[in-house]
Amino acid sequence: MARKTHDVLSVEWVRLELLRTAYSTRGGLFSRMDPRMVLAWYVLLALAPWFTHNLTVLIGMFLLGVISVALARVGPLVLGLFVFGVGADVIGLFVASFLFGGDLTTLIALAELNLKLGAVSMASMAAFVSLDPEKLSDALLSLRAPELLAFGVSYGYRMLPILVDEYVTVFEGQRLRHAPPPTRGLLGWRVILTWCVLAVTAFYPIMLNTAKNVRTTVEALETRGFTYGTNNPAGRALRLAYLKVTALDVAVLAASALAVVGAYWLGAQFPLHR
């Protein structure tokens, strides 16, 4: 049991989960859709909760977010961070409201805020774990976003695993070169302090390596005619030729719009206000 826990919580497992999330290798419903339609779906679900204070509508939107996360097959790392963050936020706000004289009205208002944030967060997870860097970049380019923005998004995604690998290498190198503390201290606080210092100082070499990698990448892209290719209409059309709206895209977007309208209709029939 201890071995399994160590394997799950290891740095390698975190790195693999980040790769699966960044490159959308888990599959799911939204990964089979046109990336432009996925962005349109995300805009719909991200904006809908902010136009109401009706708790019935917000509960419906939250449930729609839960279904979306399940259909998108969000990984355990991202989902666990979301649950931990929302849970800690809810507990902290509730405790603060009671300490400062809050009542039932305050709790309902906090529940409204957390339902909105939870619904938007789950829509974000479902959408962006289903888009690999190439699809997201091409969707932005097709929607007439600036070429450098589309490239920056794709480049940032691709640099993530490299940065994680470099950080692990630098951290392990510093740990091997540093002598352990002479005594562990109460509850091992000296060991924890040493690891925290190493974790912070390991970022400085990463910054230098990142600057070098960015310069190398820019020079290689310009040598291959990146700027000309993205601005040329023929090159843009060739790159975006695979994008096509299918019946699945229309069905998912229409079903989501009907679900949002249904949540607002239920809110009008059975209103719950603070």
pLDDT in tens, 24-36: 777 788 988 999 9
Distance CA 41, CA 30 (A): 10
Residue 240, in any domain of the structure = no
Task: State the pLDDT at residue 11.
Answer: 64
Exposure string over 20-45, b if 16+ CB within 10 A, otherwise e: bbbbbeeebbbbebbbbbbbbbbeeb
Q: Name the phi and psi angles at 210, rounded to 5.
A: -65, -45
Task: Tell me the pTM.
Answer: 0.78
Residue 46 lies in a domain: yes
User: What is the number of structural domains in the chain?
Assistant: 1
> What whole-number distance in Å separates Cα of residue 170 and Cα of residue 203?
8
- 145 falls in which pLDDT band (50, 70, 90)? confident
Determine, yes or no, domain membership for 199. no
d(Cα 156, Cα 217) in Å, to the nearest integer? Answer: 12
- Residue 273: closest CA among 63, 65, 90, 112: 112
**Confidence label for 1 from pLDDT (cuts 50, 70 and 90):** very low
Q: Which DSSP symbol is given to 102?
A: -
CA distances from 70 to 24, 66, 243 (A): 14, 6, 25
Q: Write out the residue range of the structural domain in which residue 122 sits.
A: 20-131+245-274
